[in-house]
Amino acid sequence: MLLEEVLAWLNPKSGGTYVDCTVGGGGHAAAILESSSPDGRLIGLDQDPHALEAAARRLAPYGERVTLVRENFINLPRVLAELGLPAVDGILFDLGVSSPQLDVPERGFSYHQEGPLDMRMDPTMHCTAADLVNNLGEEELAGIIARYGEERWARRIASFIVRKRQHQPITTTSQLVEIIKEAIPAKSRRSGLHPARRTFQALRIAVNRELEVLPEALRQAANLLLPGGRILVITFHSLEDRIVKNLFRHLANPCVCPPGFPRCVCGQKPVLRVLAPGGVVPSEREVNLNPRSRSARLRVAEKLRPVLNAAGGE
């Protein structure tokens, strides 16, 4: 997704080291390795072991130029430290759920297919979507659906879920879809996207703590870039896009002096320079070929300087 745009903005070069923080099936990673041949290096992270297996098969021809690590991107500093890499030339985040995860019913991400109500990107995690749906109180459940799904019918959906689970546990995607359809008034169901889309998004985000770890992961990634290196983030909904946009904006203008000061006295210096401030969206051609790309947006920033710690070191 947004492959040409990623390559254009990341601008991989031979000899460079790049990190794909969500390597998935290895599509972006393979293109980065091709563009940085003959000796560019790629570090690929993913918390999904099935994704890493697929990436390993796809990237096998690149041999020792590739290092794959099963890890959540919040732990990128430790991963790079263990590899002896103090900084890298570029970092890519492709957020959200991947097509292979959606297309496997057993993973429980899809509201179009029957499967267990799971939604864990890392299958070793203890909490599933079924655990949330069957155990949370009505208010907390409504809050998750409203906050992470931006669903106007969140309270009604939570009320219907609590009522239904009193008779039998909600354990499958199709059960939850039917409850959501019952909860949302018919007029609202007939307009817009699939009625379960927002609730499924909210549960997935909550299960995987996606928005909780994102701000700190982006800050850490900015610290790990070489001057001139670029950080790229592909988002798929307004919540995560807002986090990326605001954090990039803050790192590009961290001054906390009151408005009207003749000059900055707080000592906060810009870390990043935002490129393509409005973000980059897929071409009409890509959307036609891959409708799932319609909500994607690419945000890009470039490292200006090393970040200094309190002792004055990098």
Two structure tokens written together for 110: 């899809």
Alpha-carbon distance of 112 to 292, in angstroms, equals 14
Alpha-carbon distance of 136 to 243, in angstroms, equals 26
Evaluate if residue 109 carries a pLDDT over 50.
Answer: yes
Two structure tokens written together for 182: 């019952």
Asked if residue 213 lies in contact with residue 243, where contact means CB atoms within 8 angstroms, the answer is no
For range 171-186, the mean pLDDT: 96
Give residue 189's pLDDT: 83
Helix, strand, coil percent values for the chain (each to nearest 5)? 50, 15, 35
Confidence band, pLDDT 50/70/90 cuts, at residue 313: very low
Give residue 118's pLDDT: 97
**Closest C-alpha among 251, 243, 157 to residue 205:** 243
Instruction: Work out the mean pLDDT of the chain and round it to a whole number.
Output: 93
Asked if residue 22 lies in contact with residue 95, where contact means CB atoms within 8 angstroms, the answer is yes
For range 37-41, the mean pLDDT: 97
Alpha-carbon distance of 41 to 33, in angstroms, equals 7
Q: Judge whether 237 is annotated as a binding position.
A: no
Q: Judge whether 46 is annotated as a binding position.
A: yes
The Cβ of residue 122 has, within 10 Å, a number of other Cβ atoms equal to 14
Evaluate if residue 308 carries a pLDDT over 50.
Answer: no
- Average the pLDDT over each of 99-113, 121-135, 145-159, 270-284 and give the range with the smallest value: 99-113
Q: Judge whether 168 is annotated as a binding position.
A: no
Asked if residue 183 lies in contact with residue 157, where contact means CB atoms within 8 angstroms, the answer is yes
Q: Judge whether 39 is annotated as a binding position.
A: no
For range 42-57, the mean pLDDT: 96
Residue of higher predicted confidence among 193 and 225: 225
Give the number of C-alpha atoms closer than 13 A to the C-alpha of residue 30, restricted to the C-beta side. 13
- Rounded to the nearest 5 degrees, what angle is found at the Cα of 98, between the Cα atoms of 96 and 101? 120
- Structure-token match 């592909």, residue found: 234
Give residue 239's pLDDT: 94
3-state secondary structure of 300: strand
Alpha-carbon distance of 37 to 30, in angstroms, equals 11
Evaluate if residue 310 carries a pLDDT over 60.
Answer: no
Give residue 224's pLDDT: 97
Give residue 305's pLDDT: 66
Evaluate if residue 57 carries a pLDDT over 70.
Answer: yes
For range 242-264, the mean pLDDT: 87
